[in-house]
């Protein structure tokens, strides 16, 4: 009888630890994450990358002006992704699910007003000149 209780106890302990592993989402030390950030120029690039790199746990951040994609290496154990996105929104750049406040957006340089279609067209003209 003692052997049956002992085996049953081991079974329950093993089952409960396995269930905890499944429920817990393992946070990665070097998670490679890519998402879109609205911006338009080199000044935006510097502002976005600086905001990302100042976020605790971010080891690498680079934003591409043409694709609007930011590539980040983040220690998810130190900082959740939402904190990173909020920090970028706080400096005036919209991200899906995180819109920059009007105050933050208005604080960016006039040439960085990516919500203004006229300014977007001006920047596209500059990109065409660079290609030629």
23-69 pLDDT, tens digit each: 456 888 888 999 999 999 999 999 999 999 999 999 999 999 999 99
Q: Are 73 and 31 in contact (CB under 8 A)?
A: yes
Quote the pTM value: 0.73
Gap between the Cα atoms of 20 and 12, Å rounded: 12
Closest CA to 123 of 34, 45, 42: 42
Q: Which CATH number fits domain 31-131: 3.30.365.10, 3.30.70.100, 2.40.40.20, 3.30.560.10?
A: 3.30.70.100
Gap between the Cα atoms of 26 and 47, Å rounded: 31
What are the φ and ψ backbone dihedral angles of 68, each rounded to 5 degrees?
65, 20
pLDDT band at 14 (very low <50, low <70, confident <90, very high): low
Which pLDDT value is given to residue 18? 55
62 contact partners, CB below 8 Å, separation of at least 6:
49, 70, 71
């Amino acid at each position: 009888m003692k052997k049956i209780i002992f085996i049953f106890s081991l079974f329950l302990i093993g089952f409960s630890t396995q269930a905890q592993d499944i429920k817990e989402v393992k946070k990665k030390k070097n998670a490679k994450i890519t998402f879109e950030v609205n911006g338009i120029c080199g000044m935006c690039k510097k502002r976005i990358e600086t905001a990302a790199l100042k976020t605790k746990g971010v080891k690498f951040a680079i934003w591409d002006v043409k694709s609007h994609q930011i590539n980040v290496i983040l220690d998810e154990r130190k900082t959740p992704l939402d904190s990173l996105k909020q920090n970028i929104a706080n400096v005036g750049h919209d991200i899906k699910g995180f819109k920059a406040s009007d105050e933050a957006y208005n604080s960016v340089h006039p040439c960085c007003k990516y919500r203004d279609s006229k300014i977007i067209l001006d920047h596209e003209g500059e990109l065409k000149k660079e290609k030629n």
